[in-house]
Structure 1
Amino acid sequence: MTSYPQDAVAAGPSRTEPVRWRLASISLSMLLASLGTSIANVGLPSLAEAFSASFQEVQWVVLAYLLAITTLIISIGRLGDIVGRRRLLLGGIALFTLASALCGAAPFLPWLVAARILQGLGAAAMMALAMALVGEAIPKQKTGSAMGLLGTMSAIGTALGPSLGGALIAGFGWQAIFLVMVPAGLLALFLAHRALPADHPASRPTRSGFDLAGTLLLAATLGTYALAMTIGRGAFGMTNLMLLLMAIVGMCLFLFVESRAASPLVRLSMLREPLLRSGLATSMLVATVMMTTLVVGPFYLSRGLGLSAALVGLVMSAGPVVSALAGVPAGRFVDRFGARRMAVAALGIMATGCLALSIAPQPLGVVGYVMPLIILTAGYALFQAAITTGVMKDARPEQRGTVSGLLNLSRNLGLITGASVMGAIFSFVAANEAATAGSDAAAAGMRATFAVATVLVVFAAAIAAANRAHEANPTPQEVSVAGK
């Protein structure tokens, strides 16, 4: 088997100081990529006014960023496996920083949307390769803590975006929400350049060609699916159906092409590995559930409980704050008790929170929503640390970029699916309850949506538990393959 010097170095660094700077560089990369999504949402009204555009037009400022990440994150992860992850991460940070400056200087809306696509491309590299570099730059016994820290940074970026963006727009205008990421990007670039270990030629796989056909086909397929789930503003019409059918055909074509490619973008044999397969499935299900809190929560709090916009924002921030606080402790639990065990426990905690939200009586008010939300979000933080640690620890060094891309992709697809499906469930139930008071209709929609979320989490827990049992009792064929 090929020797990987970086893994040997990462397994036992002589000093903790370099490890801390490495963690700081990849954590800042994850923070900025997450901030790039959340900080733009709060600026949509200002952008609509500045460019005299409709909501449907300015929402592409957010959608373009998400589509760029979703469609390209696997390809970038694979490219990092080939050309070197540190090199590609530095390029991603540089592109993200340059694109942020272009966003702030945009004279018209199409310019801004195009710059956001470039920014999303840089963010995809930052997200995929930051996770992949943990295996090379961080001691293996600290992998769980490092993954928990990355989850914390992602949560902080999500929580910080609306408040920071609102303050910047009020004080300096909409341009500031993009320009603020320029100095932060330069700092991330400096830290990554100084702290991350250099790409070693021996750590790369054989210099096989890049699967351009598979890359373009997968990007088109994922982009089509994302559009099918997002256009129409909650109404699933004929256009959405046609796009969804096109995505299904595209995925079938992608699998066909990959099965015959000399150097496939995704080796289909990877998807036969039980841990990776179950990790991707549970990650998508959990992300679908977590999107429910972002889609349904504001409607229930404003219409069901009658809270003002400011109070809705305050209550909604409880989730990201809990996730940020729980990230590092969750990683330590994973390091101590094991990723597989903690993944099952985390899903049990999440199921408890979802069930409480589905039966919480409306008279309990904000407390009846926030307490289950805290339980749900704490479980999510533990799940994220467990699933990323378990999957990335077992990934082969030459496949870490691809595996990281797959994990991030499953999460993004879950978020996109949750925004569409869970929002549709809420709207359907609330519309059927429209004869009652508006607050009762919103409460009924919220309870029904989280009842479905509970079923999804229980299903994810069953998958994780079955995988854990399977790992304890592998088939003779898998024992034979593992021993090779």
Structure 2
Amino acid sequence: MDTTTPLPSTPAPRGVLAGLGLAMLLPALGTSIANVALPALARQFVLPSTHVQWVVIAYLLTLTAAVVAAGRLGDVWGRRRLLLAGLALFALASLAAGAAPGLGWLIAARVAQGLGAAVMMALTLALVGEVVPKAQAGSAMGLLGTLSAVGTALGPSLGGLLLATWGWQAVFWVNVPLGLAALALASWQLPLDRATPARNVRFDHLGTALLALSLTAYALAMTLQPGAWGTLNTGLLLTAALGLAAFAWVETRAPAPLLRLQTLRLPAVATGVAVNALITTVVMATLVVGPFYLAGGLGLDAARMGLVMTTGPAVAALAGAPAGKLVDRLGATRVTWAGLLLMLAGSAALPWASATWGALGYAAALALITAGYASTQAANNTAVMASAPADQRGLVSGLVNLSRNLGLITGASAMGAVYQWGATATTAAGGLDALAGLRLAFGVATGLLVLAMVVGAMGMRVTHRG
């Protein structure tokens, strides 16, 4: 069933873009803002940090496991209708999180928040294809990328201010007025779904459960016991692999599959999802490896380290909108390749620049990486959504966001481990060689970017043959 509306011939109203922009900012803010409250929560509930970290993990797990299903539900039930429900759920869950009398209540509220965030992330990109003219899609994607970066960058500073002023409850309650504002804008500005949901439309419950199980197992394998891979991690990774195999088997036989495997055979979709996962893994490496090297290798204090680290989010926020306009002007392919080349140059140069010019060299290379990431993401998302079948835009948007989340999870675990292994392997007198760890981590990151370019080239070749 197709619940889409025809592409508009006039520019999308600013209210529409504002509503979609807030719906993209809030999930990113919900991810980053809660981290600063963990020490306060441990004191409030008199629990160890290993327990309160589930406030963050529960949100990320739910978001990752539910985002594909949320996109598909939007295709079936109506994207505007489901987006409004997701915004309402996010706001109510934020209210409940701030009122939590205990950790169990708070974790349950964060799970509900994650469900709302999954709906928002999946359907925001899909709705761009309905409400924004094709000639302006790149600019819209760039704007959404900018706001997502702003949400990520704003979280720690805003959370710290709220925590110091009003306590840990305000860290969650700040999402309530923002969520209601996004709900009002989306309700007033988004066009109605063209058709009402059909009562006989089937939904692939078994496929959805298997995919959610597989993604949850993978995310847990990457996040539990950080820095030490054990039997539990191996078992979870094996569970994820078996679950994905079962999911693929079920999808070939389901009358109304969650994911039509033919969709992944579309070159732009398959290539775009793979490239998105690879570049996000590299960006996450800068966030995970950076603090260890800046503090251990360059001896920076917390204030100077934070200043250097803000270079990345600041550049990503500033570069997103201009990159989107370049996509509209030059085309998605050219901007994708330009962005990948910028990322490659920054990743290859980062260890050398850091060793030569210290913090300034690190910041300059980081700026190249994040500017390239903002450009690649805007162009890649535009190309993927332009190639998505009209009745599967929500699903494809869910896949794009899933690939981003998996890249973040993989980068946080694997790239951090690579850095530690490199630093320890070349240790002298029992100390860590931070520069050796940096070289190994960004040598791997450079290899991932080369792989992304190879994948992109293969996708272009298949497209041209078709």
TM-score, normalized by the shorter chain, greater than 0.5:
yes
- The sequence identity of aligned pairs, in percent, is 54
CA distance in 2, matches of 1:333, 1:186: 33
In structure 2, what is the equivalent of residue 34 of structure 1? 28
Name the CA shift for 1:190/1:4 in 2 (closer, same or farther; >3 Å).
Answer: closer
In structure 2, what is the equivalent of residue 153 of structure 1? 147
In structure 2, what is the equivalent of residue 177 of structure 1? 171
How far off is 1:206 after superposition? 10
The question of 1:459 aligning with 2:458 is answered no
Contact 2:33 2:171 in 1 (8 A): yes
Contact 1:344 1:465 in 2 (8 A): no
Amino acid at match of 1:26: L
Amino acid at match of 1:108: G
CA distance in 2, matches of 1:181, 1:365: 38
Contact 1:304 1:441 in 2 (8 A): yes
What pairs up with 1:230-379 in 2 under 5 angstroms? 230-379=223-372
In structure 2, what is the equivalent of residue 87 of structure 1? 81
TM-score, scaled relative to structure 1: 0.93
Contact 2:3 2:193 in 1 (8 A): no
CA distance in 2, matches of 1:147, 1:278: 18
CA distance in 1, matches of 2:429, 2:390: 58
Name the CA shift for 1:261/1:166 in 2 (closer, same or farther; >3 Å).
Answer: same
Q: Specify the SS of the correspondent of 1:98.
A: helix
In structure 1, what is the equivalent of residue 192 of structure 2? 198
Aligned residues: 466
Residue 118 of structure 2, aligned match among 111, 117, 124: 124
Amino acid at match of 2:463: E
Name the CA shift for 1:86/1:351 in 2 (closer, same or farther; >3 Å).
Answer: same
In structure 1, what is the equivalent of residue 5 of structure 2? 6
Amino acid at match of 1:120: G
Moved over 4 A (4+): 2-5, 204-207
Q: Specify the SS of the correspondent of 2:252.
A: helix
Amino acid at match of 2:170: A
Q: Specify the SS of the correspondent of 1:434.
A: coil
Contact 1:69 1:123 in 2 (8 A): yes
Name the CA shift for 1:406/1:425 in 2 (closer, same or farther; >3 Å).
Answer: same
Amino acid at match of 1:154: S
Amino acid at match of 1:42: V
Q: Specify the SS of the correspondent of 2:33.
A: helix
Amino acid at match of 1:234: G
CA distance in 2, matches of 1:295, 1:171: 28
Contact 1:358 1:449 in 2 (8 A): no
CA distance in 1, matches of 2:382, 2:199: 26
Contact 1:81 1:205 in 2 (8 A): no
Q: Specify the SS of the correspondent of 2:201.
A: coil
In structure 1, what is the equivalent of residue 97 of structure 2? 103
Contact 2:38 2:53 in 1 (8 A): yes
In structure 1, what is the equivalent of residue 157 of structure 2? 163
In structure 1, what is the equivalent of residue 434 of structure 2? 442
Q: Which stretches in structure 2 are left out of the alignment for 5+ residues?
A: none
Name the CA shift for 1:207/1:344 in 2 (closer, same or farther; >3 Å).
Answer: farther
Contact 1:7 1:135 in 2 (8 A): no
How far off is 1:469 after superposition? 2.9
Q: Deviations over 1:145-176 (max 9, x none)?
A: 00000000000001100100011111111111
Amino acid at match of 1:259: T
How far off is 1:343 after superposition? 1.3
In structure 1, what is the equivalent of residue 463 of structure 2? 471
CA RMSD of aligned residues (A): 1.6
Amino acid at match of 1:33: P
CA distance in 2, matches of 1:144, 1:206: 36
Name the CA shift for 1:399/1:358 in 2 (closer, same or farther; >3 Å).
Answer: same
How far off is 1:205 after superposition? 8.9
CA distance in 2, matches of 1:207, 1:383: 40
TM-score, scaled relative to structure 2: 0.97
Name the CA shift for 1:3/1:95 in 2 (closer, same or farther; >3 Å).
Answer: closer
How far off is 1:359 after superposition? 2.7
